[in-house]
Amino acid sequence: MAWSSSSSCMAVLLALAISAQLGSSDLAPDYYGSTCPNLESIVRGVVKQKMDANIRAIGSTIRLFFHDCFVEGCDGSVLITSTAGNTAERDADDNQSLAFEGFDTVNSAKAAVEAACPDQVSCADILTIATRDAIALSGGPFYPVELGRLDGLSSSASSVTGQLPQPTHTINQLVAIFRAQGLTMSHMVALSAAHTVGLAHCGKFRDRVYGNPADPTMNPTYAAFLRTKCPADGSSDPMVLMDQASPAAFDNQYFRNLQDGGGLLASDQLLYTDSRTRTNVDAWANSTAAFSRAFVDAITKLGRVGVKSGRQGNIREQCDVFN
């Protein structure tokens, strides 16, 4: 008996969600307790140093983790540098805006860890710890990280296509991308708050402020401000802080911005204009504690996606080069 198209779609999503979580049972907060007992303090020291030197290290490191996990799982494959024979994930069109500061933070942390604990800790786990520290050191929640991932053995730009959320996506498209990773709509809204730090190129939202008409869901005052930052003709593509109110703080200001029509990307503002997600936005805008709990739950589940174990991976000597 043939399946209906909707049944087929649900089966595919279920299979993807199940495969996304394979290997996650091997993770544990104390995974390196005997092999690298000072791991987390070493990584935290490097992250703090990089943050103090450049505010961009915060959002860049967090974004790197998201882009890694959504493509082939949380396996550090986004860190690999392209070679003459392979165009790696980081050089895919959707990853062109990943900033140097994120890569530098992880590579520097790896070097410091290798000096203390050679050949013990994966780059995937260092990226996971560095992301938590970037969040916590900028005012967000501190949470225990599950560790024990291996580094992936492949990295291809072609694998990125269609895997990452886009500013122009509808709510249904966004939900499908997150659901394919075993994440719910609520997880999606919580994780979107990572846009409370970092920057975005004008090209990602120019149509919202210069369209005919301009996007009616954007606060007119905010739109006028953005027009002073972004040329209408696209002659240049500068970057704009995603949260003008508290750009260096990981907080729930993101949700309050949405309530005021201040979401920078169209996909951000959709979370408030769509009734299915507005309840979460309002709840987390009003409670830092509730937001923190939701975010920690969501990012912990994201960190379990596509974990490599056994022969699926190894521990790289350098994060940007395969062994």
Residue 298 near residue 192, CB atoms below 8 Å: no
Token pair of 99 as six digits: 């900033």
Beta bridge partners of 147: 28
The active-site residue, picked from 67, 169, 187, 201, is: 67
- Residue whose structure tokens are 């049972």: 25
Which two tokens mark 292?
């923190």
Token look-up 């050949």 returns 119
Q: How far apart are CA 310 and CA 135, in angstroms?
A: 30
Strands 239-241 and 151-152: unpaired
The three-state secondary structure class of 133 is helix
Find tokens 């709990």 and name the residue.
Answer: 293
Instruction: Judge whether 201 counts as a catalytic residue.
Output: no
φ, ψ (nearest 5 deg) of residue 171: -60, -45
Positions annotated as catalytic residues are 67
